[in-house]
Amino acid sequence: MEQLILAKCGEIVLKGLNRSKFDLMLIKNLKRSIADLGEFDISLAQSTVYIRSLSGADMEEVFARTKRVFGFAAVCMAYMCEKSMESILGLAPECLAETLEEVNTFKVEAKRSDKRFPLKSPEICREVGGELLKSFPHLRVDVHHPDVTVTVEVRDFGAYIHAVREPGAGGMPYGSNGRACLLLSGGIDSPVAGYMMAKRGLKLTGIHFFSPPYTGERAKQKVVTLAKELQAYCPGMKLHVVHFTEAQEAIRDHCSEEYFTVIMRRMMMRVAYELMKKTRSGALITGESLGQVASQTMDALQLTDSVTNALVLRPLIGMDKEEIVQISRRIGTFDTSIQPYEDCCTVFTPKHPKTKPTLRDIEREEAKLDIEGLVDRAVHLNYEIIE
Amino acid sequence: MIYLDNSATTRPYEEVTALIAEEERLRFANASALYKPALEAEAGILAAKRQIASVLRCTPEEVLITTGGTYSNNLALFGACDARKRMGNRVVMSKVEHPSVYVCGDILMSRGFEVVYAEPTLASFEEAINDKTILVAAMLVNNETGLRLPVERIAGIIKRKKAPAHFHVDGVQAFGKIPTSVAALKCDSFSISAHKLKGPKGIGALYLKKGVRIKNILFGGEQEGGMVPGTYNSPAAAGFSKAIELYQKEDPAHFEALRRRFLERAAGLPFIQINSPADGVPYILNISCMGYLGENVLHFLEGKEIYVSQGSACSSKKARSGSVLGRLGHDEPTVMGALRISFGIENTLEEVDALMDALAEVPAKIQKLYKDV
């Protein structure tokens, strides 16, 4: 009984003449994400990627990882046999036992892309359904609302049987749209923002602002953990840690308290812009959502944007906290995000921040700072990259 | 000394006791604190979680470090019932569970839950589980007989019966010795203990599937999400981690060899009856010295510095109703004459021979309790 995984390509099937570029990238990403699990035979035909283990890999784990590779619409755990009714009927009860024991009703669907196969699709369905009813007396057929749909596909190289079909990660192959830097704070929003842009094919580099002694080792560890969790979707993502204490202290010492947050955000954008250029990325990604806090009002965002020429992507801008939390739970970063450690954004927060700051006020306050020097030292001193 | 009571506990590896001493000396800080030495102490706990996760095939975040198998079982059972008490009232467990599960069943019954003790067969579980069942508990390997329960297929029954049940597996006697994948078992929780595989006593773990909610049974600090309040025993956790690492390098085929030698030689001693099933685990052998009182044989062997246990170490005080053999319906001479021989990885074939030589002397040295058996 040979087990294999069928991963159905998503959006990239709509691509035109450059389709092969996306296909190659998708397969490269898939290979990379399962490389440590053993040797595989991976092939692409009819918009489906076939994954077969050559070294007895744990297929459940391969399945779980494939589900996290951007670019697939659906992933099926399938079993392959010869293209004959005899082998299909022999294999079906055996390979589906685990799934069918858990359910009460089922139906069978057949796809016959090899039209030379002697039985037509409805005939295949009837035969397989009858065989399964015989083997599992507790089952009933329900063609409208079955607990499980068993699919039999008769394709060019063999017949495939599967009942477990789960949605893939969707989106575009990771890296197919270029690179960007993600500002990763340690809260709930920024990992979700990163995930969403990675899903659209951006390769990410994380940037974290670290403010010892105001934020501790555990706060940094938390962000490293978040980056690791994102790596499940963003293979090889690196985290750049910037020491930000000097800049924050300078703002506290010289600027008027009500502008602290916006000035700090502008400093972060300046530093991030330098790192964006350094890592040859094309955009900055932030987890801002309109109006969520004082630094995320329209006026404040306008001011944070105007400080650099970077394209700033804010995938969460129109989302409610609850929607963000839902995604965060689904991708597995929520539990880490809610660990209760101070992060850089909560250091020196003013009691009453300005929600409608003006450029004139901000520029007046910023004139009191050695901006160039602060940015330069943040980018060079104590700077570390965590892989 | 010939120690053949390894299902009760094992002698820790030298490396484990050395590591624990070193951790106590150098990394004694409270692992929950914010400063750097705390992170160093916490490393031992994280290492244990990673080791356990790699054996159970789960994520380290799904592993709670506890004070041992009994705490893990109590937390899973009471915690799950408390969290699900509005969804139903029935609890199903096998009748051969370890006291740390079985007795919890009795307590749950006294608190108003309907507790069904099933035979250790799939058909019996199938019959017992209904759509009001909120907890199903089954052990992977029975501690007294080595019987393997058909745990792999219980999750399917729960799902098919649409039971809102938490599925708990007591894996204390299985972990590290036979394959234990929580992904394959599809269980919600799985308990393990360090000292069964040459780790320190007083530490164990509970796998708790991500997203499965249970309530805590002890109250205090926030350790392990509040589920295991109290300062972390980080040195023991580091020792636990080391023990798993070393135990995985051992060859489990050695148990088969010990068992084979025992069975070969037992065939020549007609008063010895083998109670363990042929397809049970090789490292636990339950036998009865027919006609004799097991306790007498135990002390006779003790005189020769050979240590075995009577049935289960936990239930030796209670005779028939209290023992697994009794609950499985064995007759009185079988129950009263029962001994459990449980092999450790360091036992040798010579030690098995010494045991058999000693057992061969039993008819000449000990008075029978049942003359006609």
Residue A257 to chain B, least CA–CA distance (Å): 29
B314 labelled catalytic:
yes
Alpha-carbon distance of A34 to A40, in angstroms, equals 9
Residue B317 scores a pLDDT above 60: no
| A61 to B160: CB separation less than 8 angstroms, yes or no | no
For the segment B71-96, the average pLDDT, to the nearest whole number, is 96
- CB-CB under 8 Å, B156 with A102: yes
Mean pLDDT, residues A262-266: 91
Mean pLDDT, residues B16-38 = 95
pLDDT tens digits along B213-270? 999 999 999 999 999 999 999 999 999 999 999 999 999 999 999 999 999 999 999 9
Q: Is A177 exposed, middle or buried (0-12, 13-18, 19+ CB in 10 A)?
A: middle
* Residue-level pLDDT at A156: 81
Q: Tell me phi and psi for residue B81, to 5 degrees.
A: -65, -40
What is the rounded distance in angstroms from the CA atom of residue B149 to the CA atom of residue B101? 15
For residues A264-300, one letter each, b for 16 or more C-beta atoms within 10 angstroms of the residue's C-beta and e for the rest, the string is: bbbbbbbbbbbbbeebebebbbbbbbeebebbbbeeb
Overall average pLDDT of the B33-61 stretch: 94
Report d(CA A95, CA A287) in Å as an integer: 44
Give the three-state DSSP class for B130.
Answer: coil
Considering only CB atoms, which chain A residues are within 8 Å of B184? 60
Distance from CA of B190 to the nearest CA of A (A): 19
What is the least distance, in Å, from the CA of A103 to any CA of chain B?
A: 5
Q: Please count the helices (runs of H) and the strands (runs of E) in chain A.
A: 13, 14
CATH 3.40.50.150: does it fit domain B14-247? no
Selected residues 170-229 of chain B with any CB under 8 Å from a CB in chain A: 183-184, 210
**Is the confidence at residue B373, as pLDDT, over 80?**
no
The full set of domain ranges for chain A reads: 2-167, 179-386
Cβ pairs bridging A and B (under 8 Å)? 29
CATH 3.40.50.620 for domain A179-386, yes or no, is yes
Minimum mean pLDDT among A153-162, A238-247, B133-142, B278-287: which range? Answer: A153-162
Q: What is the pLDDT of residues B141-200, one digit of tens each?
A: 999 999 999 998 899 999 999 999 999 999 999 999 999 999 899 999 999 999 999 999
Q: What are phi and psi of B59, to 5 degrees?
A: -100, 150
Contact A310, A336 (CB under 8 A): no
Q: Give me the DSSP letters along A209-230.
A: EE-TTTS-HHHHHHHHHHHHHH
**In the structure, what pLDDT confidence band is assigned to residue B303 with cuts at 50, 70 and 90?**
very high
**From the CA of A37, how many Å to the nearest CA of chain B?**
13
pLDDT of residue B370: 84
Q: What are the φ and ψ backbone dihedral angles of A39, each rounded to 5 degrees?
A: -90, 140
Torsion of CA B282, B284, B286, B289, to 10 degrees: 90
pLDDT of residue A294: 81
For all residues of chain A together, what is the average pLDDT? 91
Residue B11 near chain A (CB below 8 Å): no
Is 50 exceeded by the pLDDT of residue A109?
yes
Q: What are B197-210's pLDDT values in tens digits?
A: 999 999 999 999 99
Residue of A nearest to B156 (CA): A102
Identify the band that residue A108 occupies on the pLDDT scale cut at 50, 70 and 90: very high
Candidates B156, B299, B319; CA nearest to A104 is: B156
Provide, as residue numbers in chain B, all residues whose Cβ is less than 8 Å from the Cβ of A217: 34-36, 39
pLDDT at site B321: 58
Q: State the pLDDT at residue A1.
A: 73
Chain B residues in contact with A341 by the CB 8 A cut-off are 34
The Cα–Cα gap between B73 and B189 comes to: 9
Cβ within 8 Å, pair B183-A60: yes
Question: With an 8 Å Cβ cutoff, are B57 and A104 in contact?
Answer: no
Residue tagged 């159970």 (tokens): B56
- Determine the 3-state secondary structure of B269 from DSSP: coil
The sheet with strand A40-45 has its strands ordered as A40-45, A48-53, A2-9, A72-81, A159-167, A148-154, A105-112, A140-141
Domain ranges of chain B: 14-247, 251-365
Closest chain B residue to A97 measured between Cα atoms? B156
Query: If you average pLDDT over residues A339-354, what whole number do you get?
Result: 78
d(CA A251, CA A257): 9
* B268 DSSP assignment: T
As a whole number of Å, the CA-based R_g of chain B is 21
Closest partner residue to B34 (CB to CB) among A101, A103, A216 is A216
- Of all residues in chain B, the one with the smallest CA distance to A219 is B34
Judged by CB atoms closer than 8 Å, whether chains meet at B157 and A101 is answered as: yes
Minimal Cα–Cα distance from B26 to chain A, Å?
Answer: 20
Question: For the domain B251-365, what is the CATH superfamily, name and number?
Answer: Aspartate Aminotransferase, domain 1 (3.90.1150.10)
Give the pLDDT of residue B320: 47
The answer to whether B57 faces chain A, any CB pair under 8 Å, is yes
Share of chain B above pLDDT 70, in %: 97
Instruction: Please state, in angstroms and rounded to a whole number, the distance separating the CA atoms of residues A31 and B103.
Output: 50
Report, as an integer, the average pLDDT of A44-49: 89
B36 touches chain A (CB under 8 A): yes
CA quadruple B191, B197, B200, B201: dihedral, nearest 10: 50
Return the CATH architecture of domain A2-167. Answer: 2-Layer Sandwich (3.30)
For the record, the structure tokens of A194 come out as: 């990163």
Q: Is the pLDDT reported for residue B137 higher than 60?
A: yes
Give chain B's mean pLDDT: 93
Cis-peptide into B99, omega within 30 deg: no
Q: Which of B7, B1, B3, B2 minimizes the C-alpha distance to B285?
A: B7
Q: Do B160 and A98 touch (CB under 8 A)?
A: no
Average pLDDT of span B28-55: 94
Model confidence band, residue B316 (pLDDT cutoffs 50, 70, 90): very low
Report residue B166 as tokens: 């938490």
What angle is formed at CA B148 by the lines to CA B197 and CA B236, rounded to 5 degrees? Answer: 20
Q: Is the ipTM of this complex over 0.90?
A: no
Q: Is the pLDDT of residue A346 over 80?
A: no
DSSP assignment of A3-71 equals EEEEEEE-GGGG--TTHHHHHHHHHHHHHHHHGGG--EEEEEETTEEEEEESS---HHHHHHHHTTSTT
Q: Judging by DSSP bridges, how do beta strands B133-139 and B166-170 pair with one another?
A: parallel
Structure tokens belonging to residue A311: 């394209």
Contact B222, B31 (CB under 8 A): no
CA A357, A359, A364, A365 dihedral sign is positive
pLDDT for the residue numbered B318: 53
Chain A residue set in contact with B, beta carbons under 8 Å: 58, 60-61, 98, 101-104, 138, 216-218, 221, 332, 335, 341
Using 50, 70 and 90 to split pLDDT, how confident is the model at B314? very low
